[in-house]
């Protein structure tokens, strides 16, 4: 009886441990291409919470400034100028914004040369309006 209770407790503990493991950030390989022409910096007008497919939420902070550094098929890549931004799953990844107009499409992970897309684009409020 005591052994049966111990086995049941061990199985429940193992299941809880497995369920608690964070999901990997979903990525695809991506090669950053140079900008065809310079683009103005963008400044985030208000905090933007972003729910990731990993279950984590990250907030793109108000008043952060981002500089266009290149393009992907999914949009223009913006590097943060006054902060470090990261997304999280099983691991933490430095992340730069990928915008199409003023819509956040996902993130470019510069250390890995990967793109991590959002399930749906998120409209961002930018000071001065959408980049061209």
Using the predicted structure, report yes or no on whether residue 67 has a pLDDT greater than 60: yes
Gap between the Cα atoms of 115 and 106, Å rounded: 7
Domain ranges of the chain: 22-123
Mean of all residue pLDDT scores within the chain? 88
pLDDT band at 17 (very low <50, low <70, confident <90, very high): very low
Beta-carbon contacts of residue 125 (< 8 Å; ≥ 6 apart): 44, 45, 46, 48, 102
Please tell me whether residue 53 adopts helix, strand or coil conformation: coil
SS (H, E, C) 58-83: EEECCCCEEEEEEEECCEEEEEECCC
pLDDT of 18 reads 40
Tell me the whole-structure pTM to 2 decimals.
Answer: 0.81
Asked if residues 85 and 94 have their Cβ atoms less than 8 Å apart, the reply is yes
């Amino acid at each position: 009886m005591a052994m049966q209770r111990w086995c049941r407790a061990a199985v429940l503990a193992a299941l809880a441990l497995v369920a608690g493991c964070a999901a990997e950030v979903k990525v695809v390989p991506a090669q950053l291409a140079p900008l065809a022409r310079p683009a103005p910096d963008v400044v985030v007008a208000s905090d933007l919470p972003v729910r990731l497919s990993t279950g984590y939420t990250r907030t793109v902070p108000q008043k952060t400034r981002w500089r266009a550094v290149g393009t992907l098929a999914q949009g223009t890549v913006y590097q943060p100028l006054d902060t470090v931004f990261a997304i999280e799953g099983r691991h933490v990844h430095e992340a730069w914004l990928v915008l199409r107009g003023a819509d956040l499409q996902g993130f470019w992970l510069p250390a890995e040369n990967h793109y991590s897309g959002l399930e749906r684009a998120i409209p961002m409020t930018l000071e001065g309006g959408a980049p061209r």
